[in-house]
Amino acid sequence: MTGPVTAVAPAVAQPDARAALHRLRAEVAKAVVGQDAVVTGLVIALLCRGHVLLEGVPGVAKTLLVRTLATALDLESKRVQFTPDLMPGDVTGSLIFDPHTAAFTFREGPVFTNLLLADEINRTPPKTQSALLEVMEERQVSVEGERRLLPDPFIVAATQNPVEYEGTYPLPEAQLDRFLLKLTVPLPSRDEELGVLRAHHAGFDPRDLHAAGVRPVATAADLAAAREAVRRVHVAEPLFGYLVDLCRATRIAPALELGASPRGATALLNTAKAWSWLAGRDHVVPDDVKAVARPTLRHRLRLRPEVELEGMSVDAVLDTVLATVPTPR
């Protein structure tokens, strides 16, 4: 696997780039059974230069998924286990005194990579969580007034456990809003779980992706060409109104005390364009918006406490909003 990849100019035709990204599913499936929707979400994040919050119970291959995707894209990935004693410099890097030169030199942290897996991000205090804000938003690290740019592509794939809250620090809304998507990593179906057992019985080692046959099937050039193609996807004027109306409807929904911000509307526009392009279209249709609305908006909304006690979910509220806001013809 190569090191961090710098920005490159589009070098392949759009259909070739689309085909290369579609091949990712088959390649990732060599190591991860199922999870096609999560793989698609990660690809959309790469196309949109966004970050992903992966939520799922332990043991559903969240870490393996990110590592396999990085291998199939020939990108570098690093993993940070977030713990209560983790310091900001452990993530971003810090100045180290060199006694031989009597000077301070910067030692890069694990954020200097292409795919950063922030494992159990809600287990570290807010001070360390906030160290990622500049990294995620500006794609740079500032130390002693000097900016150090991160490689391109760069995304953060953060994980959290939805059922264990002891010893955790919930992410503030400002940081949640920095994630392009929140993807739910489900438990496998019975057939998929049987496939996992058969693979391990046959000798599959999740620590050795090379032995599992995972190979690069797309390149940084493919990704750059795909990003340019997504940027040119056409959006008709009525679709802009539809996107705005959906987000504004969340702000007045009785079940919500916090609706989607304008950043949420922008994120929904970008993910809908990426979904449309992956589906083979050069223009966005309302169904594209509906397909990505849940993962794009669910983490930007907050239920009223009394509604949450009644067992209603954010996704259920989003379904109601999607059903009531008029769809453009």
Domain that holds residue 242: 233-324
d(C-alpha 226, C-alpha 20), whole Å: 10
Residue 296 has pLDDT above 90, yes or no: yes
Same domain? 259 vs 205: no
Same domain? 23 vs 134: yes
Which CB contacts under 8 angstroms, 24+ apart, belong to 167-171? Answer: 167/84, 167/123, 168/122, 168/123, 169/122, 169/123, 169/124, 169/125, 169/126, 169/129, 170/122, 171/121, 171/122, 171/129
User: What per-residue confidence (pLDDT) applies to 166?
Assistant: 66
Q: What is the pLDDT of residues 9-41, one digit of tens each?
A: 333 345 688 888 888 888 888 888 888 889 899
Position 1 in a domain: no
Buried b vs exposed e over 220-230: b needs ≥16 C-beta within 10 Å? bbbbbbbbebb
d(C-alpha 245, C-alpha 248), whole Å: 5
User: What per-residue confidence (pLDDT) applies to 35?
Assistant: 84
User: What per-residue confidence (pLDDT) applies to 95?
Assistant: 86
Same domain? 298 vs 170: no
Q: DSSP character for 50?
A: -
Block residue for tokens 């990622």: 132
Number of domains in the chain: 2
Residue 315 has pLDDT above 90, yes or no: yes
Q: What is the pLDDT of residues 120-152, one digit of tens each?
A: 998 888 888 888 888 898 899 988 778 899 998
Helix (H, G, I), strand (E, B) or coil at 313: coil
- Average pLDDT over all residues of the chain: 88
How much is the pTM? 0.87
Same domain? 65 vs 209: yes
d(C-alpha 6, C-alpha 153), whole Å: 7
The CATH number for 120's domain is 3.40.50.300
The CATH number for 300's domain is 1.10.8.80
Cα separations (Å) of 82 from 8, 45, 122, 318, 328? 32, 22, 8, 31, 44
